[in-house]
Amino acid sequence: MSSASLHALFVLPILLAAIPGCVPVRGSMPAQTWRPGENEHECRGGAADDATSSAWRERDRLALRAKLERGEAAVVSALGCRVEVLQQCHAGAPVERAELDGVSHFAVEASGVLAQDLDGACTGATHVVESAAFSQKGRLMTVALAPLSLDGFDVSGTWTGVFRQPGGPYETYELELELVQHGDRVTGSSRVATIDGEYWGNLAFEGRLEGNTLYFADAELVDDNLGIFLDWCMKGGYTVVDPRKGSMGGAWRAFACAPGTLELEQVGAAAKAAPVVKKPVAQVAQ
């Protein structure tokens, strides 16, 4: 395997030594999510709560209005530069509607919506729309999101799966996490390995939970077998936790390395059957 192909996965210390102070000793924990292939610099923080932003495509504005008018809470995947209304994902939160000066106002009791209580096709679900207002012509005027809650679910334990790196020398690598949750803080360790077992590394893991999104970073390289000419990339990224399936998936990036994605399942966590959610009827204020 050439050093050029290895550079896709491993940082070459000799090359980076020419830039004093630029070699990171730990991964960088991101402040927000992104979708693979997006230019992170094009994503504006808070755009998901801005009804006029490009994060809301026309089809999702229409889907949001249709759901709320049916009296259904709208579950969304708010990642990176885009908010996607998950039309086949249902939450049992009641919807209230009020008409004021030709504007339709919707409010949802979203603060207690648990990720594990969702029903339907909910892959990537991160938030519930807790309020929205539409003009008489149906234009989305205001919107606010509330993160899904992980109350009742603990991410502590062993998670196994893979992380992927399109264009890397192997493209798929084995990944195992040992996590301990302390409130919204998560610590532990990760073990990464090439699928042929030739290279491996043990790293310290740090993370924080925001709703059902786990942001993480490689905090320290503990041990590996790469030798003196190669180092593992120190990753930072996020995963969206799905407690119904005992799984999580997301994206990662690292200094001087091609970015990728990861998919994990919690060892010993039986997938929970999603409860049947009765769709509430909208309550119209008189």
pLDDT (tens digit per residue) in 137-156 = 999 999 999 999 999 999 99
The two three-digit tokens of residue 30, written as one number: 């991101």
Question: Measured on CA atoms in the order 215, 217, 223, 227, is the torsion positive or negative?
Answer: positive
pLDDT level of residue 9 (50, 70, 90 thresholds): low
pLDDT level of residue 264 (50, 70, 90 thresholds): very high
Q: Which residues pair with 144 in a beta bridge?
A: 131
Task: Give domain limits for the chain.
Answer: 3-30+152-266, 44-149
Contact between 230 and 12 under an 8 Å Cβ cutoff? The reply is yes
CA 134/CA 126 separation, integer angstroms: 23
Quote the pLDDT of residue 4. 35
pLDDT level of residue 105 (50, 70, 90 thresholds): very high
Quote the pLDDT of residue 113. 92
Contact between 124 and 84 under an 8 Å Cβ cutoff? The reply is yes
SS3 13: helix
Quote the pLDDT of residue 272. 40
CA 100/CA 133 separation, integer angstroms: 10
pLDDT level of residue 24 (50, 70, 90 thresholds): low
Quote the pLDDT of residue 22. 42
Which residue did the predictor score with more confidence, 15 or 64? 64
**Superfamily the domain 3-30+152-266 falls into:** Quinohemoprotein amine dehydrogenase alpha subunit, domain 2 (2.40.128.120)
CA 164/CA 259 separation, integer angstroms: 8
Say whether pLDDT at 173 is over 50: yes
Question: Measured on CA atoms in the order 31, 37, 41, 42, is the torsion positive or negative?
Answer: negative
Quote the pLDDT of residue 110. 75
CA 21/CA 158 separation, integer angstroms: 35
Element housing 223 (H / E): strand 213-224
Say whether pLDDT at 46 is over 90: no
Mean pLDDT of the chain: 85
pLDDT level of residue 172 (50, 70, 90 thresholds): very high
CA 70/CA 61 separation, integer angstroms: 14
pLDDT level of residue 195 (50, 70, 90 thresholds): very high
Question: Measured on CA atoms in the order 285, 280, 149, 104, is the torsion positive or negative?
Answer: negative
* Range from 42-56, 73-87, 138-152 carrying the lowest mean pLDDT: 42-56
* Range from 3-7, 106-110, 111-115, 213-217 carrying the lowest mean pLDDT: 3-7
Say whether pLDDT at 18 is over 50: no
